Amino acid sequence: MCACDVDDVDAVTRLVERIDGVDGLVAYKLGSLLTLRLGLAGVATAFRKVTRKPLLYDHQKAGLDIPSMGREFVAACRDAGVDALILFPLGGPSAVDAFVGETVQAGLRAIVGGALPLPDFLIRGGGYVSPSALARITERAYAIGARDFIVPATDIPTLQRQARFLTVRGGGRLFLPGIGPLGGEITQAFAATRGIASYAIVGRAIYAASDPREAALRLAGEALAVA
């Protein structure tokens, strides 16, 4: 999946036109930069002119809000025309129930996370988030219907734990950001999640490449080779 974290709609349209036909490229992640300029509906409309692939919206980071905002947020995203929401409900169990639950009920795919590929995100690295946060979020989100989870490709032990969790529970899918400049490698990450459907989310390694299509072909080829 290509993470289109840019703020120029013409540039992103040209990018999608160049890479959309690449075998193994299955979706696009929309970020906040472009949506702040055009609005989410405007961005989704622009993408729909050049692709029919699923659109994942990453609000950076949705779900960390009071529970009463869940229904309104999800409704606005659904009406804008996206297919899935990336959610980081770090606000607590009620935030998980509100944002993940409303997303599932609305017929959108809830892709649930709680970790970022940053060395100082967790307490043990100098950050503010408990190492157990992701596991607890995952447990509760799975119980209310989520089957899709996002984990940094740079954190192999956590990838392995999430893959084991999904295997024991009967299945699910993993989405892996942090490929490329942040240090993640597709082959290594996919090896850690073997047996669970997994998708690499790649941003700068594609859109900032001198030849985005060649980069997409190479990276998609890596993913397909080990899928």
H helical segments located in the chain: 9-19, 32-38, 40-48, 69-80, 93-95, 101-105, 133-143, 156-169, 186-192, 204-207, 212-226
Amino acid 205: pLDDT: 95
Q: Delineate the domains of the chain, giving CATH numbers in brackets.
A: 2-226 (3.20.20.70)
Q: If you average pLDDT over residues 96-103, what whole number do you get?
A: 98
pLDDT of residue 180: 81
For residue range 154-189, list pLDDT tens digits in order. Answer: 999 999 999 999 999 999 999 999 888 778 899 999
What is the model's pLDDT at position 22? 97
Share above pLDDT 70 across residues of the chain, in percent, rounded to a whole number: 100
* Proportion of the chain in helix, strand, coil states, percent, rounded to 5: 45, 15, 35
Question: In the sheet that 173-176 helps form, which strands lie side by side, from edge to edge?
Answer: 2-4, 28-30, 55-62, 84-87, 109-112, 148-150, 173-176, 197-200
Q: Which two tokens stand for residue 148?
A: 């899709």
List pLDDT tens digits, range 34-92: 999 999 999 999 999 999 999 999 998 899 899 999 999 999 999 999 999 999 999 99
- pLDDT given for residue 88 in this prediction: 97
Answer left, alpha or beta for residue 155, where phi above 0 means left and psi between -120 and 50 means alpha: beta
Above pLDDT 90, what percent of the chain?
89
Token pair of 210 as six digits = 């001198």
The pLDDT assigned to 118 comes to 86
pLDDT at residue 226, rounded to an integer: 83
Q: What is the pTM of this model?
A: 0.94
